[in-house]
Structure 1
Amino acid sequence: MVNRFRNFGIGRKLNMGLAVALGVALGIALDNFLIGLVLGIAVAAGSGSGAGTDNDGIGESDE
């Protein structure tokens, strides 16, 4: 159980990276990288992955 919580921040950051990568791939398919990046960030924010783990001020919460 301790290991699960220790690795949780890493897992959430990976999930955010995957969501952004997925959005970028979709944007490339649509011939628009910027739209893909925005979609990826929106998906990551919508799923809550990466929130509060990267300390960049984006998606941070007081959890």
Structure 2
Amino acid sequence: MSQDANIDDVHEPITSAPPEIRQIIERVWKLEKGRLDKKSNGPINEDILKIIKEEVR
């Protein structure tokens, strides 16, 4: 299996998700990326829960 096929397999659930779900995934991804850039190890659960609640409204 090629590298491109593996990447497509990983991205498929995201690309096929409804727009609302993709928005949640993108916001959580940006949150986690920012935390990794800052090397922050604090709790993230409350931040993810806040994102989901905002998107559900």
TM-score of the pair, normalised by structure 2: 0.46
The answer to which structure, 1 or 2, has the higher relative contact order (CA under 8 A, 6+ apart) is 2
| Higher relative helix content | 2
TM-score of the pair, normalised by structure 1: 0.43
Greater Rg by CA: 2
